[in-house]
Amino acid sequence: MMEVDYIVVGLGLAGISFCEQLRANDKSFVVFDDNSQQSSVVAGGLYNPVVLKRFTAVWKCEEQLELALTLYSNLESEFGVKLDYKLPVYRKFASLEEQNDWFTASDKPVLSKYLSTKIHKNDNKYINANYGLGEVYDTGRIDVKTLIDTYKKYLIEQNSFIEAGFNYNALGIASEGVNYENITAKQIVFSEGFGIKQNPYFKDLPLQPAKGELLIIHAPELKIDFVLKAGVFLIPLGSDLYIVGATYEWKDLTNEVSVAGRENLLEKLVKLISCPFEVVNQVAGIRPTVKDRRPLVGSHTDYKNVYLLNGLGTRGVMIGPYVASQLFNHIEHNKPLDKEIDIERFN
């Protein structure tokens, strides 16, 4: 028989963020994951405090960044891996109006520290950006694959990982805790992404699965050391490799790559760059998104020791540590959740 404080279901960005809360507070736990959810793979790993479509600040961006960057820095030190690649993000301007909108946004107190007031002239002959580029500060890329692989290896070494799907029918719930097969725990937290749609405790919440696809291209002549955001984003990986992303697809909800996804990305890419490139890989995954663009966090209405941490959407590397902290403090210290992320908002 195994006795732990927590069972965590799912080892994506949400699950890892919550496990870090548990480790920091000396709580024992075991994680179940069967590698069926691929949303973290197609996140691109970008952290960026500005919504570049509308030049607005990301919700709680300062708090999110502080917690996230501290967490990844601590993991780098502990595990001896490189996770955080500091990279500026450049937004391509499509018109003089967009330049003006940028300057207006950069005057706002919440955005002034993140938006450069200088228009960068495009001096790369392979990039189509006649109106220049705007630079965002405090941005970068988290290597999500290395993060998940490293964390999983660590949990296996600690005998805290079970590579298996979760059988909801085998979960027993009582007032003092939960039991599952040969494990007893005080609490269970579901962080299974799109898998929530099969979860009998939370399947009625309005999580909207959205398929996302990314390309990896090899473009030896492009030579950029920043993230470029236009119709698509281009993220340098080193060795002349770049991530190109991402698509949103609401009907085809398989983890399989598609011709349509590839063509959609290539159509936008050739409008942005003119140098030769080769597609070397394509990946797909299902993102757990929510209609109001806020995560799903909280406890089941009838079972107070059954919790949810889900719906991180496209900004998982940034928001994950913040919402994990919110949930941990809610469970252990009875602190109220932010109303905007509490699943009570849908009751």
**Tens digit of each residue's pLDDT, the chain (347 residues):** 899 999 999 999 999 999 999 999 999 999 999 876 666 666 689 999 999 998 999 999 999 999 999 999 999 999 999 999 999 999 999 999 999 999 999 999 999 999 999 999 999 999 999 999 999 999 999 999 999 999 999 999 999 999 999 999 999 999 899 999 999 999 999 999 888 989 999 999 998 888 899 999 999 999 999 999 998 999 999 999 999 988 988 888 888 899 999 999 999 999 999 999 999 999 998 888 898 889 999 999 999 899 999 999 888 999 999 999 999 999 999 999 999 999 999 98
Q: Which residues contact 187 (CB under 8 A, 6 or more apart)?
A: 5, 6, 7, 177, 178, 305, 306, 307, 331
**CA dist., res. 204 & res. 121, Å (int):** 49
Q: Report residue 71 as tokens.
A: 């967490």
Query: Which residue ranges make up each domain of the chain?
Result: 2-44+145-206+292-346, 89-136, 207-290
**CA dist., res. 275 & res. 220, Å (int):** 9
Strand pairing report for 161-162 and 29-32: parallel
The predicted structure's pLDDT at residue 37: 61
**CA dist., res. 230 & res. 25, Å (int):** 42
Q: Report residue 234 as tokens.
A: 């281009």
**CA dist., res. 123 & res. 103, Å (int):** 21
**CA dist., res. 167 & res. 188, Å (int):** 13
Angle at CA 83, nearest 5°, toward 62 and 4? 85
Q: Report residue 175 as tokens.
A: 């007032």
141 by Cβ neighbours in 10 Å (0-12 / 13-18 / 19+) ranks as buried
The predicted structure's pLDDT at residue 210: 86
Residues 240-244: contacts with CB within 8 Å, 24+ apart? 241/216, 241/217, 241/280, 242/216, 242/217, 243/44, 243/214, 243/215, 243/216, 244/214, 244/215, 244/216, 244/217, 244/269
- Neighbour tally for 291: CB within 10 Å: 10
* 219 and 283 Cβ atoms separated by less than 8 Å: no
The predicted structure's pLDDT at residue 6: 98
207-290: CATH architecture? 2-Layer Sandwich (3.30)
- Same topology, domains 2-44+145-206+292-346 and 207-290? Answer is no
Between 3.30.360.10, 3.40.50.300, 3.50.50.60, 3.40.50.1370, what CATH number should domain 2-44+145-206+292-346 receive?
3.50.50.60
**CA dist., res. 76 & res. 83, Å (int):** 6
**CA dist., res. 258 & res. 104, Å (int):** 40
* 202 and 190 Cβ atoms separated by less than 8 Å: yes
